[in-house]
Chains A and B, each alone.
With several copies, the nearest count.
Chain A
Amino acid sequence: MKVGVITFPGSLDDGDAARAVALAGGDAVRLWHADADLRGVDAVVLPGGFSYGDYLRCGAIARFAPVMEPLVDAAKGGLPVLGICNGFQVLCESHLLPGALIRNDHRKFVCRDQGLRIESASTVWTSAYDVGQEIVAPLKNGEGGYVADDATLDALEAEGRVVARYLGDNPNGSYRAIAGVANDRGNVVGLMPHPEHAVEDLTGPSTDGLGFFTSVLKGLVGV
């Protein structure tokens, strides 16, 4: 199964995402922001980082990269897409996911091992987890505060599209402690924490993050 990992200028965790895909048993295919097509991949990961420096708004400029055109179409057609951190921000800016991510309420960059509760196992990226399962993964962001209007938030909750929530004290001021959300079909998921940094005991706080990558691969085999 081929999982594409897009590199924008300023992407940082693209290598980690590719490593995670490989550890989960998939083939990582590197995609470039200027690519005109997705080179036939079966799923795509938008990695963390500071695309184009994120000086304007996180993800605001990356959203207009050439590769985003085929990606947005494919995503609307059901292609599994996972946006991690900066990737989540890009997905929101592209309106593939509702809401937006703003400056952490404490106004500092935060890097810590974060407890999470999986709230939905019915997305293609979380099928390997159980609802209510608690996991630990690194969280590292300066603009990770998830915001949306109440109507949107209520809809997300009602439709089971809140994918993960922060445990313990809210690390960035996200509304309703939301750490990740999905689109209505459950093929597009955005996540602030970094599962790709929780795939090896040696380098991560846990290996809890692998599930996101095994989930999609399992789903793809099913296809």
Chain B
Amino acid sequence: MARVVVDVMLKPEILDPQGKAVHQALPRLGYDGIAAVRQGKRFELEVEGEVTEERLAQIRGAAETLLSNPVIEDFTVRVEEA
């Protein structure tokens, strides 16, 4: 069983209220020196059998149509080495 990770982040030009909130909270908790924070989603897909190129292509398809909304989000797909 292999794991494929899909990371989805808001495009840089789209405002990210959650990241902003975290960024503002950090100094109040005494954590300084953080220039910016963005919050996105991480999907862990457990894939049956091994991860063929074609399987990866499929998952990219899912990432593009379902897991992310191209209008506002970018995504990356990668196989996670156990």
Contacts and interface: CB of A to CB of B under 8 A. Distances in A.
Interface of A: 52-53, 55-57, 60-61, 64, 92-93, 98-100, 102-107, 145, 147-149, 173
20 contacts: A52-B21, A53-B17, A53-B18, A53-B21, A55-B21, A55-B22, A56-B25, A64-B66, A92-B71, A99-B71, A100-B71, A100-B72, A102-B10, A102-B14, A102-B17, A103-B17, A105-B15, A107-B18, A107-B21, A147-B14
A107 to B, nearest CB: 5
Given A103-B18, A148-B71, 20 more contacts: A52-B21, A53-B18, A55-B17, A56-B18, A56-B66, A56-B67, A60-B69, A61-B21, A61-B25, A61-B66, A93-B69, A100-B72, A103-B17, A107-B18, A107-B21, A145-B15, A145-B17, A147-B14, A147-B72, A149-B13
Nearest to B19: A55
Interface string B48-78: 0000000000000000001101011000000
Contact of B25 (A52, A93, A106, A147): A52
- The 10 closest A-B CB pairs, nearest first, are A55-B18, A55-B21, A100-B72, A105-B17, A100-B71, A61-B25, A103-B17, A107-B17, A53-B21, A147-B14
Interface in B11-37: 13-15, 17-18, 21-22, 25, 28-29
B34 to A, nearest CB: 14
Dominant SS at the A interface?
Answer: loop
A57 B39 CA distance: 12
Contacts of A102: 10, 14-15, 17, 72
A107 B25 CA distance: 14
A52 to B, nearest CB: 6
Contacts of B13: 149
A57 B67 CA distance: 8
Nearest to A105: B17
A49 to B, nearest CB: 14
B71 to A, nearest CB: 5
A56 B39 contact: yes
Contacts of A93: 69
A56 B8 CA distance: 11
A104 B71 contact: no
B69 A64 contact: no
B26 to A, nearest CB: 10
